[in-house]
Structure 1
Amino acid sequence: MPITTDPSSPASLHRAIYLTGPTASGKTGVGVALAQRLDAEVIAMDSMTLYRGMDIGTAKPTREEQGGVAHHLINVLDPWQAASVADYRGWAIKVVADIESRGKRALFVGGTALYLKALLRGLFESTGTNRELRDALEDEYRRLGGAALHARLESIDPVTARRLHPNDRLRIVRALEVSATMGQPLSSLQTEHEHPAPATVPVFAIERPRPEIHARINLRVEQMIQDGLVEEVRGLQSGPQPLGPVPAQGVGYREVIEHLEGRLPLDRAVECIKARTRQFAKRQSTWFRGLAEVRSWPVPDGEASERTADRLAQLLIAVEN
Structure 2
Amino acid sequence: MAHTPLELIVLIAGPTASGKSAAALEIAKALDGEIVNADAMQVYRDLRILTARPDAAEEAQAPHHLYGVLDGAERCSAGRWARMAAKAIGEIRGRGRVPIVVGGTGLYFKALTDGLSPMPDVPEEVREQGNRLFDGVGAAAFRKEVLSRDPGMAHLKENDRQRLIRAWEVHEGTGTPLSDWQKQPREAVVSGDFRPAVLQPPREALYANCDRRLDLMLERDALKEVRDLLARKLDPSLPVMKSLGVPEFAAHLAGELPLDEALALAQQNTRRFAKRQMTWFRGQALDWPVFETPEKLVSHFVMK
Using the TM superposition, give the Cα deviation of residue 144 of structure 1 relative to its aligned residue in structure 2, in angstroms: 2.7
* Contact 1:80–1:243 under 8 Å retained in 2: no
- 1:274 matched to which residue of 2? 267
Which letter maps to 2:246? Y
Gaps of 5+ in 1: 1-11, 316-321
Give the TM-score normalised by structure 2.
Answer: 0.82
* Contact 2:143–2:158 under 8 Å retained in 1: no
Which letter maps to 2:301? L
Q: Report matched runs for 1:87-166 at 5 Å.
A: 87-126=80-119, 137=130, 140-141=133-134, 143-145=136-138, 148-150=141-143, 152-153=145-146, 156=151, 157-161=153-157, 164=160, 166=161
In the aligned structure 2, how far is the partner of 1:143 from the partner of 1:296? 46
* Higher mean C-alpha displacement, 122-131 vs 198-207: 122-131
Deviation per CA, 1:55-85, whole angstroms, max 9, x where unpaired? 1110111011235100000111111122222
Secondary structure of 2:290 counterpart = strand
Say if 1:206 and 1:154 are closer, same or farther in 2 by CA, change over 3 A: farther
Using the TM superposition, give the Cα deviation of residue 131 of structure 1 relative to its aligned residue in structure 2, in angstroms: 10
Identity %: 30
In the aligned structure 2, how far is the partner of 1:45 from the partner of 1:131? 23
Residues 1:312 and 2:301 aligned together: yes
In the aligned structure 2, how far is the partner of 1:27 from the partner of 1:111? 9
Say if 1:132 and 1:264 are closer, same or farther in 2 by CA, change over 3 A: closer
* Higher mean C-alpha displacement, 65-74 vs 149-158: 149-158
Which residue among 230, 235, 241 is the counterpart of 1:248? 241
- 1:64 matched to which residue of 2? 57
* Higher mean C-alpha displacement, 83-92 vs 96-105: 83-92
Give the TM-score normalised by structure 1.
Answer: 0.78
In the aligned structure 2, how far is the partner of 1:147 from the partner of 1:56? 36
Which letter maps to 2:167? A
Residues 1:176 and 2:144 aligned together: no
Using the TM superposition, give the Cα deviation of residue 288 of structure 1 relative to its aligned residue in structure 2, in angstroms: 1.1
Deviation per CA, 1:194-242, whole angstroms, max 9, x where unpaired? 99x9995211001211011011111111111121111110012224857
CA-atom RMSD in angstroms: 3.5
Residues 1:85 and 2:85 aligned together: no
Say if 1:158 and 1:56 are closer, same or farther in 2 by CA, change over 3 A: farther
* Contact 1:43–1:92 under 8 Å retained in 2: yes
Secondary structure of 2:289 counterpart = strand
Which letter maps to 1:287? W
Which letter maps to 1:313? V
Deviation per CA, 1:7-61, whole angstroms, max 9, x where unpaired? xxxxx99841101111111011100000001111000111111111311110111
* Contact 1:41–1:107 under 8 Å retained in 2: yes
Which letter maps to 1:34? I
* Higher mean C-alpha displacement, 251-260 vs 205-214: 251-260
Secondary structure of 2:298 counterpart = helix
Deviation per CA, 1:138-164, whole angstroms, max 9, x where unpaired? 663464356642564478524344773
Secondary structure of 1:126 counterpart = coil
Say if 1:128 and 1:109 are closer, same or farther in 2 by CA, change over 3 A: closer
Which residue among 16, 31, 34 is the counterpart of 1:38? 31
Which letter maps to 2:266? I
Secondary structure of 2:142 counterpart = helix
Secondary structure of 1:18 counterpart = strand
- 1:238 matched to which residue of 2? 231
Secondary structure of 2:62 counterpart = coil
Secondary structure of 2:12 counterpart = strand
In the aligned structure 2, how far is the partner of 1:264 from the partner of 1:110? 31
In the aligned structure 1, how far is the partner of 2:114 from the partner of 2:7? 9
In the aligned structure 2, how far is the partner of 1:109 from the partner of 1:172? 28
Gaps of 5+ in 2: none
Which letter maps to 2:110? K
